[in-house]
Amino acid sequence: MVFSSITFLFYFLPVVLAIYYIVPNKFKNIVLLIASFAFYFYGEPKYIWLMIFSIIATYIFGRLIDKYRKTKKAKLFLLLDIFVSVGLLIYFKYANFIINNINLWINNKIDFIYVALPIGISFYTFQMLSYIIDVYREEAKGQKNILKLAMYISLFPQLIAGPIVRYTAIADQLENRNHTIEKFALGVRRFIIGLSKKVLIANVLGELVNIFLASNEMSVLYYWLYAISAMLQIYFDFSGYSDMAIGLGKMFGFDFLENFNYPYISKSITEFWRRWHMSLSGWFRDYVYIPLGGNRTSKIKWIRNILVVWLLTGLWHGADWNFMIWGLYFGILLIIEKLFIGKYLEKIPKIFSHIYVLILVMISFIIFNGENISQILENIGGLVGAGNIPLVSQEGLYYLKSFGVTIIIGCISATPLSKKIVTSDKIKKATNIIEPIFLIGIFLICTSYIIDGSFNPFLYFRF
């Protein structure tokens, strides 16, 4: 079940909200837990047992760490929990990738494991790991109520595709949280904005991406349309989902941290990753980079730490070589910036540093979307006319006319420009009156697109 579906918008969510606000406060967590399990069961019925097993294991190990705190047994239970959680993730997500690469080197072929990837396993595994590590570090108290821990891990607004919510960020909210009309209204507003990003921009540009990948008539113009569209699609798809998750959280009284902060206005790749998927980059910083030594070590070890983190970041996104290359690509860029060009990026005119970031990020998403090395190189080369392709083609011009307006809207919406206009003092009063009507109109338009359209996946569901 995706947030941008009729089933969720007009059946699941209204029923859950109605029951949630009818029942007394002491039963609200139970309602959310049941709703979260039902949400996951609808999308992945055969793997709900996997999530339940992981929750029980994490709860038991957390209690044992609490009991034997500051002893060797506590560290043993931490390692056992990490082994179970990461082991399940490796088995379901990476086993066939490992087998395939082993088979390239041996004569006796190993049979593939025929298992489907459980949706959201990367997200809820990282949440469980953050909980158990924080308990071991004494940064969080072990949760004594298994139902509250289960609700934290399975909470449906952020279960499938994040943001990755730290236990320490919402531990108090599991016990007590505020429910106000103002907060609920903010949640509805944020949800509709996210829905419009997903349905009206990401879905539309996703159609162009698919058309390009199935096309044989290429030109430089067409390659650029593909690259820009793919870049905007993944941003609005994922940031739209994060907006909807944050909005849903507010409807149920939770305050989730932001996950995106206009990353395409960055002036360096370092800044880009402070603004893009902030919950993931923060997770790797706190649980991998810093424990490895961070930047408080020798230059060689620091470079090693950067490459390890970004190799793992790439692998987290998918079990394929293009994701590993994508991760290492960013790791190398960050090293180059920190060692050589970072100080120059701060001095040059902003327009050039912005272009620098946009070009490199655009290339990164060509790598991200590539099925193999040859396709990646072909799509990058096409941007500069490699292969003697024409500058313009009839097909490229046709799709420029068909999707040009959406691309322009996407480019503007990826900056804070519209937000600054809406929140300016001169028109703030007018927007307070117009906004509810505007949001209702946007919601109705999104609904009509959902009913009429067939392209409606969430890209990050596969992670």
pLDDT band at 421 (very low <50, low <70, confident <90, very high): low
Task: Please give the pLDDT value at position 11.
Answer: 95
- pLDDT at residue 430 above 70? no
The whole model's pTM is what? 0.93
| More confident position, 84 or 44 | 84
**Is residue 451 a contact partner of residue 6, using CB atoms and an 8 Å limit?**
yes
* 335-364 pLDDT, tens digit each: 999 999 999 999 999 999 999 999 999 999
CA distance 336 to 348: 17
**Is residue 122 a contact partner of residue 89, using CB atoms and an 8 Å limit?**
yes
Question: What mean pLDDT do residues 164-185 have?
Answer: 91
Question: What mean pLDDT do residues 383-406 have?
Answer: 94
**Can you list the alpha helix ranges (DSSP code H) found in 137-256?**
146-154, 156-159, 167-175, 181-196, 203-213, 220-251
Task: Please give the pLDDT value at position 247.
Answer: 96
> Could you give the C-alpha distances from 282 to 8, 13, 19, 130, 277, in angstroms and in order?
30, 30, 35, 11, 9
Q: Per the residue annotation, which of 179, 277, 317, 354 is the catalytic one?
A: 317
Alpha-carbon torsion, ordered 444, 449, 452, 457, to 10 deg: -130
Find tokens 């910083």 and name the residue. Answer: 285
CA distance 224 to 25: 53
- pLDDT at residue 429 above 70? no
Phi, then psi, of 104 in degrees rounded to 5: -70, -20
Task: Please give the pLDDT value at position 175.
Answer: 87
Task: Please give the pLDDT value at position 433.
Answer: 74
* 156-166 pLDDT, tens digit each: 998 887 789 99
Q: What is the maximal distance between C-alpha atoms in the chain? A: 73
Task: Please give the pLDDT value at position 427.
Answer: 65
Task: Please give the pLDDT value at position 120.
Answer: 87
CA distance 134 to 128: 10
Question: What mean pLDDT do residues 383-390 have?
Answer: 91
CA distance 404 to 431: 27
* 9-23 pLDDT, tens digit each: 999 999 999 999 999
* 32-79 pLDDT, tens digit each: 999 999 999 998 788 999 999 999 999 999 999 999 998 999 999 999
- pLDDT at residue 7 above 70? yes
Under 8 Å CB-to-CB from 79, ≥6 apart: which residues?
Answer: none
- pLDDT at residue 450 above 70? yes
**Known catalytic residue: 179?**
no
- pLDDT at residue 423 above 90? no
- pLDDT at residue 461 above 60? no
* 296-320 pLDDT, tens digit each: 999 999 999 999 999 999 999 988 9
**Mean of all residue pLDDT scores within the chain:** 91
Task: Please give the pLDDT value at position 378.
Answer: 94
Region at 104 (left for phi over 0; alpha for psi -120 to 50; beta for the rest): alpha
> Could you give the C-alpha distances from 375 to 78, 145, 300, 384, 458, in angstroms and in order?
42, 51, 33, 15, 23
Handedness of CA 366, 459, 319, 264 (dihedral sign): positive
- pLDDT at residue 422 above 80? no
pLDDT band at 111 (very low <50, low <70, confident <90, very high): confident
Task: Please give the pLDDT value at position 46.
Answer: 85
Question: What mean pLDDT do residues 376-398 have?
Answer: 93
pLDDT band at 106 (very low <50, low <70, confident <90, very high): confident
Task: Please give the pLDDT value at position 237.
Answer: 94
> Could you give the C-alpha distances from 137 to 74, 149, 156, in angstroms and in order?
10, 18, 27
The tokens for 299 are 């230059």
> Could you give the C-alpha distances from 130 to 78, 100, 260, 318, 327, in angstroms and in order?
11, 31, 20, 20, 21
What is the CA angle 37-42-45, rounded to 5?
80
Q: What is the DSSP letter of 343?
A: H
pLDDT band at 368 (very low <50, low <70, confident <90, very high): very high
Task: Please give the pLDDT value at position 190.
Answer: 95
Question: What mean pLDDT do residues 234-238 have?
Answer: 95
- pLDDT at residue 216 above 90? no
The tokens for 168 are 């320490």
- pLDDT at residue 201 above 70? yes
User: What is the SS3 assignment for 372?
Assistant: coil
Share of the chain above pLDDT 70, in %: 95
- pLDDT at residue 146 above 70? yes
**Is residue 244 a contact partner of residue 236, using CB atoms and an 8 Å limit?**
no
Task: Please give the pLDDT value at position 110.
Answer: 82
DSSP code per residue over 256-302: PPP--S-GGG-SSHHHHHHHSSHHHHHHHIIIIIHHHTTTSS-HHHH
The tokens for 411 are 């480019």
* Amino acid type, 153: I
CA distance 96 to 90: 9
CA distance 11 to 305: 47
The tokens for 114 are 């025929």
